[in-house]
Structure formats: C-alpha cells, structure tokens
C-alpha cells in the first residue's frame, strides 16, 4: 500500500472535531487513569531503543494512527507528576484549564514579541496580577519565560547591567574592571550559579554564604563577606536570596537581607520559583511580604500553581533598567505605549532575550480566572498542612527521623532504626537503596537530597489530589521497605 502523502492544508471543521474529540478522549483517559497506574515506570529498553533509532518519517500517517501510537508508546510512561503519590523534586500536576488553554493558545499561535493583539494584553494582565500578589509597584515590569531558571537569568542580567558601574553591554566582562561579586546561600538553586556563569561573572566570583540551622542564609556572614570583598577591591553587586529553597523550603531572612542590600547599594533578587505563591497563605503571608523589598523576583507558575510547563515569570521593579539591559532598539525608535497603533505597548522582546515568544500567558490567565486567588490559597494551605501532618507522623514514628524543619510543603526525613544510629555511611547506604526501591516500586515517588552531608528522603507536596491517607500509606511503606533493605544489606 502506498503511504498517504499528507501535506499541511486547511482542515474542515468536521475534520477538526473528529480528531479533536479523539484527543479529548485521550486526555480524559490519561488523567483519570493515572491514579490507578504506577506512579512511575521506566520506558522499556526495547521501546527506548525504537525511539532512539527510528529515522524521520517520509510518508505521512493518518491522525488516528498517530494517536494510537501516542496511547501505546507515550502515555503509559509519564514523568510521574500527575499522580497523587508523586512527591519528587518540585513538580506539580497540570490543572485542566491550563491544558485547554495550551490548545487554544496554539490555535491562535501569536508571537508575543509584541504588537497590538490580544495575547499581549493577556500577558500584561497576568504580569499585573503577579505584581499585585507579590506587592510590586504597578510601574514595575515583567514577562513570562520558560521557567524559574530563565526568570533568574533575566533578572540577574538586569542586575549586572544596572550595577556593573560601566556599560557591560558594550564592553563585556573582558577587561580589568573590578570583579562583580554575587552572593548566594549554600542552599541557593543551581540555576543561580548557571546564570552567573552564563552572564560571564565567573563561578569564582560567587560568594556562597553559610546557612543557619534552619537552612537560611546567615545575614551576619553576608555583611562580613561584602565588607571583605570591598576591602579586596571587588564590586559586590547583587544578592540572590531564596523564598523557598528547593531542598527544604527554607525562606531566607528577606527583610534583613534587603536592609543589607540597601546599605551597600546591592541588587536584591529573590528566587521565589517554588515558594512565592505561598504569600497567598495565612502561614506565610507576613514572612513573604518582604518580597516587596526586592529589585526582582522569579516565580514559577508551573510549580506550585500547577500551570502546565513551561511557565516562569520574572518581575523587575525598575522597568527602565530592564529595557536598558535588553533593548536593541535605539530609544528614538521605541514604541511608547500607543494603544491604537500597530506597534502597541513597548514590546516584550525589549525586556528579555527571546524575540518570537509563545502565548504562555493564556494558561496562567485561564487557571487564575478559574480558581481565583481564593482557590489557590486553599490548595496551598492544604499542602502546607499535609506537609506538617507528615512531619508529625514521621516525628512520632521511632524508626524514622526528621532531617529538617518543614518549609512550605517539603519534608526531609530518613529511615533510621535504632540499629543504625550513629552509622553515617550505613544510614546513607540504606536510605539510597530504599529510595531506589520506592521509586521503582511505582507506589510512591520521592526524591532525595543531601543535608549537612547526610542523604535524606525528600517529599514535596504539590498535588491537589494528595490526601492524608496517601501520606499514611507512605509512612507504612517506608517502614516496610526500609526493613526489607536492612535485611538484604545485613545478609
Ligand atoms: C524549580 C526551581 C528553580 C528553577 O526553575 P525552572 O522552572 O526549573 O527553570 C529555581 N529555584 C527554585 C527554588 C526552584 O524550585
């Protein structure tokens, strides 16, 4: 049989509905089926091999055929984050309105570089909502990016431009200028280091500040280090603080850090990729209100707000500095906010690195409209309470040991029965083996981290379907599998 020779042409409304309804069926089947499937199962080796060895399709296939392939070879092997017992890293399930919005955004398929079309106003509105939520002034600027990494990179690029003391865009960081120094805590996210390296600051010019026993940046050490760097002739320029570290959910003392930044004229960037939305909750409202002191904030709607990836957001207080850091349009050619012309408001592409930009804002916009900040507040508070519940269960269980204060929705603990007390390496080995067993077992999914040299199991609750019973199940399973690992390793 001759392979059909498809080429892009307009579909009739009937065709769109016929295939589209099949897609909707697949989405419904996938999402409602997830809780009954293993949280995670690796892609079988032969299937992985097929994926890696197939050459580019020459003849076209019918949509039905392609959807069957999706159903059989792709849908059964998800990352895991749609499952109510997935608590790895910082990954949430997608909310339904976000899924639909993705399809609608693709149907419109605008470039959000700029212009006078609806998508631009949707993005402006979303950015405005986040200014309001995070306490940023209306005249600040922001945009949607791929995620927290790109949000922090964008913010630090503005900081570098604003604080270098010379024209970094023209001269680069090649000359004999004073070294620009960036300050992070030891618990700061890796993307901050990546960003500093990419911006040409050099990893040796990142000062890693010690954390206190709650894993928060030590402000006293920060001030001492800044003084030392000034005396050494360097140019301290920015602090990147965390509003919710990825390891333990620790929130740096933002207010105090803000004061130090003000005293020394440093840029304060806050990485709120995970934690910033918690400002909506009663538990964290006051502590996170200090985000308003920052010069820039990174937030990840695709983390705790359950927007389908990718959706990161950066806010910068000094809109002019943001534009100056990125715009390649000479000032006399910039569009300046005509709401009636073709150009429209100043283009987003002047405020960040991307030129053609997707309509990311629609999924954030639809989800926020659907749940409202009230709906999100309830969900976040549920997660915070679930984390505290798990913490209490772990504390009350003799063979388990809590390894960090609960921060936001993260609990770090380990399996530590009496026979293993004081055996650092054995404890690590047992917990590593236990983690692998849990992950491959498909009943729960956690990740791990290392805290003060100890290997720990880490639970990050971001799923609106997770219940207390799931956490009870986890505690029982850890005890059972832990005992099993211990037996195996003792034999
Ligand atoms: C996820 C995360 C990042 C990185 O964001 P991406 O969306 O993965 O690029 C940075 N900081 C924290 C605290 C995070 O949780």
pLDDT at 333 over 90: no
The mean pLDDT value for 180-208 works out to 97
Which one of 91, 146, 149, 154 would you pick to mutate in the ligand 1 pocket, going by the greatest count of ligand atoms within 8 A of its CB? Answer: 149
Q: Which two tokens stand for residue 261?
A: 């930044």
User: Model confidence over 35-53: pLDDT tens digits?
Assistant: 999 999 999 999 999 999 9
Nearest residue by C-alpha to atom 15 in ligand 1: 274
Share of the chain above pLDDT 90, in %: 93
Question: Which atom of ligand 1 is nearest the CA belonging to 147?
Answer: 7
- Measured torsion, CA atoms of residues 156, 159, 160, 163, in degrees rounded to the nearest 10: -160
- Where residue 363 falls among pLDDT bands split at 50, 70, 90? very high
Beta carbon of 246 within 6 Å of any ligand 1 atom:
yes
3 state SS of 235:
strand
Calpha distance 62→5 (Å, rounded): 10
Q: What pLDDT score does 401 carry?
A: 98
User: Model confidence over 87-103: pLDDT tens digits?
Assistant: 999 999 999 999 999 99
Q: What pLDDT score does 331 carry?
A: 66
CA of 14 to the centre of ligand 1 (A): 42
CA of 151 to the centre of ligand 1 (A): 9
The H or E element that residue 74 is part of is none
Q: What pLDDT score does 344 carry?
A: 87
Calpha distance 483→366 (Å, rounded): 47
CA of 148 to the centre of ligand 1 (A): 4
- Where residue 402 falls among pLDDT bands split at 50, 70, 90? very high
User: Model confidence over 266-290: pLDDT tens digits?
Assistant: 999 999 999 999 999 999 999 999 9
User: Model confidence over 202-227: pLDDT tens digits?
Assistant: 999 999 999 999 999 999 999 999 99
Q: What pLDDT score does 403 carry?
A: 98
Share of the chain above pLDDT 70, in %: 98
3-state secondary structure 86-148: EECCCCCCCCHHHHHHHHHHHHHCCCCCCCCCHHHHHHHHHHHHHHHHHCCCCCCEEEEECCH
Q: Which two tokens stand for residue 360?
A: 């990311």
The mean pLDDT value for 137-159 works out to 98
CA of 413 to the centre of ligand 1 (A): 22
Contacts of 128 (CB under 8 A, 6+ apart): 138
Which one of 155, 190, 273 would you pick to mutate in the ligand 1 pocket, going by the greatest count of ligand atoms within 8 A of its CB? Answer: 273
> Any idea which of 171-175, 448-452, 475-479 has the lowest mean pLDDT?
171-175
The mean pLDDT value for 329-340 works out to 72
The mean pLDDT value for 14-41 works out to 97
- Where residue 339 falls among pLDDT bands split at 50, 70, 90? confident
CA of 379 to the centre of ligand 1 (A): 20
Beta carbon of 243 within 6 Å of any ligand 1 atom:
no
Q: What pLDDT score does 3 carry?
A: 58
Beta carbon of 350 within 6 Å of any ligand 1 atom:
no
pLDDT at 119 over 70: yes
Beta carbon of 250 within 6 Å of any ligand 1 atom:
no
User: Model confidence over 157-170: pLDDT tens digits?
Assistant: 999 999 999 999 99
- Where residue 5 falls among pLDDT bands split at 50, 70, 90? confident
User: Model confidence over 224-265: pLDDT tens digits?
Assistant: 999 999 999 999 999 999 999 999 999 999 999 999 999 999
pLDDT at 332 over 70: no
For residue 230, CA distances in Å to 84, 203, 243, 256 come to 50, 18, 27, 20
Beta carbon of 191 within 6 Å of any ligand 1 atom:
yes
Beta carbon of 148 within 6 Å of any ligand 1 atom:
yes
Q: What pLDDT score does 279 carry?
A: 98
CA of 189 to the centre of ligand 1 (A): 7
Q: What pLDDT score does 110 carry?
A: 98
Q: What pLDDT score does 2 carry?
A: 55
Calpha distance 240→465 (Å, rounded): 33
Calpha distance 426→431 (Å, rounded): 8
Q: What pLDDT score does 337 carry?
A: 74
Q: Is 310 exposed, middle or buried (0-12, 13-18, 19+ CB in 10 A)?
A: middle
């Amino acid at each position: 049989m001759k392979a059909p020779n498809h080429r892009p042409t307009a579909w009739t409304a009937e065709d769109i509905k016929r295939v589209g309804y099949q897609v909707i069926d697949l989405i419904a089947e996938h999402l409602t089926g997830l809780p009954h499937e293993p949280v995670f199962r690796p892609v079988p080796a032969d299937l992985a091999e097929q994926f890696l060895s197939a050459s580019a399709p020459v003849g076209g296939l019918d949509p039905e055929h392609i959807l069957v392939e999706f159903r059989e070879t792709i849908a059964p092997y998800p990352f895991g984050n749609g499952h109510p017992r997935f608590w790895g890293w910082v990954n949430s399930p997608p909310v339904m309105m976000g899924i639909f919005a993705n399809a609608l955004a693709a149907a419109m398929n605008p470039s959000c570089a700029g212009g006078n079309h609806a998508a631009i106003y949707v993005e402006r509105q979303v950015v405005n909502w986040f200014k309001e939520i995070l306490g940023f002034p209306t005249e600040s600027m922001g945009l949607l990016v791929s995620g927290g990494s790109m949000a922090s990179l964008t913010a630090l690029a503005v900081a570098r431009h604003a604080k270098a003391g010379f024209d970094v865009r023209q001269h680069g960081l090649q000359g004999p200028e004073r070294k620009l120094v960036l300050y992070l805590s030891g618990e700061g996210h890796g993307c901050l280091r990546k960003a500093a390296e990419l911006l040409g600051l050099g990893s040796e010019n990142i000062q890693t500040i010690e954390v206190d026993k709650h894993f928060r940046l030590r402000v006293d050490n920060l001030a001492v280090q800044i003084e030392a760097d000034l005396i050494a002739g360097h140019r301290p320029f920015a602090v990147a603080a965390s509003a919710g570290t990825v390891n333990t959910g620790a929130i740096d003392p933002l207010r105090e850090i803000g004061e130090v930044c003000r005293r020394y004229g440093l840029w304060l960037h806050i990485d709120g990729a995970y934690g910033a939305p918690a400002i909506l909750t009663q538990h964290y409202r006051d502590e996170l209100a200090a985000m308003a002191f920052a010069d820039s904030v990174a937030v990840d709607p695709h983390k705790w707000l359950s927007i389908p990836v990718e959706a990161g957001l950066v806010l910068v207080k000094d809109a002019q500095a943001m534009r100056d850091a990125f715009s390649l349009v000479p000032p006399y050619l910039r569009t300046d906010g005509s709401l009636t012309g073709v150009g429209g408001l100043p283009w987003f592409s002047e405020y960040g690195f991307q030129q053609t930009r997707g309509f990311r804002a629609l999924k954030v916009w639809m989800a926020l409209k659907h749940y409202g900040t009230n709906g999100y507040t309830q969900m976040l508070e549920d997660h915070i309470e679930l984390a505290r519940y798990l913490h209490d269960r772990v504390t009350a269980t003799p063979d388990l040991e809590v390894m960090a204060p609960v921060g936001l929705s993260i609990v770090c603990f380990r399996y530590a029965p009496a026979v293993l007390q004081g055996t650092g390496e054995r404890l690590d080995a047992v917990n590593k083996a236990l983690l692998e067993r849990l992950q491959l077992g498909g009943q729960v999914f956690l990740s791990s981290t290392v805290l003060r040299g100890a290997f720990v199991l880490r639970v990050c609750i971001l799923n609106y379907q997770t219940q207390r019973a799931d956490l009870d199940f986890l505690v029982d399973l850890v005890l059972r599998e832990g005992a099993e690992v211990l037996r195996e390793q003792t034999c």
